[in-house]
Amino acid sequence: MGSKGTATTTVGKTWDGGNEPLGASYGKLMMWFFIVSDALTFSGFLAAYGFSRFKFIETWPLADEVFTHFPFAHGVSMPMYYVALMTFILIGSSVTMVLAVDAGHHMKQSKVAFYMFLTIIGGLIFVGSQAWEWKNFIKGEYGAVESKGGSLLQFVDATGKRVALEEFADTSIPKEREQLTRSKGKWFMEESSIPTYSLEQVQAGFKSHPDLLVRIETINSPETIATTKGVNENPALNSPKHKIILSRAESEKRLADGIIVIEGANLHRNEYGSKLFADFFFFITGFHGFHVFSGVIINIIIFINVLIGTYEKRRTYEMVEKVGLYWHFVDLVWVFVFTFFYLV
C-alpha gyration radius of the chain? 28
The neighbour count for residue 24, using CB atoms within 10 Å, is 12
Q: How close are the terminal C-alpha atoms of the chain, in Å?
A: 67
Q: Are 272 and 265 in contact (CB under 8 A)?
A: yes
Distances (CA, A) of 274 to 60, 206, 341, 343: 5, 24, 13, 17
CA dihedral 192, 197, 200, 206 (to 10 degrees): -140
- Whole-angstrom distance, CA of residue 245 vs CA of residue 212: 10
Residue 156 bridge partners (DSSP): 162, 213
In terms of C-beta distances under 8 Å and separation of at least 24 residues, what long-range contacts does 280-285 make, across chains too? 280/45, 280/48, 280/49, 280/52, 281/137, 281/341, 282/134, 283/45, 284/42, 284/45, 284/46, 284/49, 284/337, 284/341, 285/130, 285/133, 285/134, 285/337, 285/341
Domains of the chain: 23-140+277-343 (1.20.120.80), 144-263 (no CATH)
Q: Are 167 and 295 in contact (CB under 8 A)?
A: no
Q: Is 294 left (phi over 0), alpha (psi -120 to 50) or beta?
A: alpha
Cβ-proximal residues to 329 (8 Å cutoff; 6+ apart), any chain: 35, 38, 39
pLDDT given at position 9: 47
Handedness of CA 50, 56, 61, 64 (dihedral sign): positive
Q: Is 279 left (phi over 0), alpha (psi -120 to 50) or beta?
A: alpha
pLDDT given at position 107: 94
- Element holding 71 (H helix, E strand): none
pLDDT given at position 194: 79
pLDDT given at position 300: 97
Per DSSP, helices labelled H in 56-190 are 63-66, 81-105, 109-139
Strands 152-156 and 213-219: antiparallel
- Element holding 226 (H helix, E strand): helix 222-227
How far is Cα of residue 254 from the mean position of the Cα atoms in its chain?
A: 31
**pLDDT digit string (tens) for the chain, length 344 residues:** 444 444 444 444 444 555 555 667 888 888 999 999 999 999 999 999 999 999 998 889 988 888 988 988 877 888 899 999 999 999 999 999 999 999 999 999 999 999 999 999 999 999 999 999 999 999 988 999 999 888 899 999 988 889 999 999 998 888 665 555 555 555 555 456 778 899 999 999 999 999 999 999 888 765 555 555 566 656 556 665 678 899 999 999 999 999 999 999 988 889 998 889 999 999 999 999 999 999 999 999 999 999 999 999 999 999 999 999 999 999 999 999 999 999 88
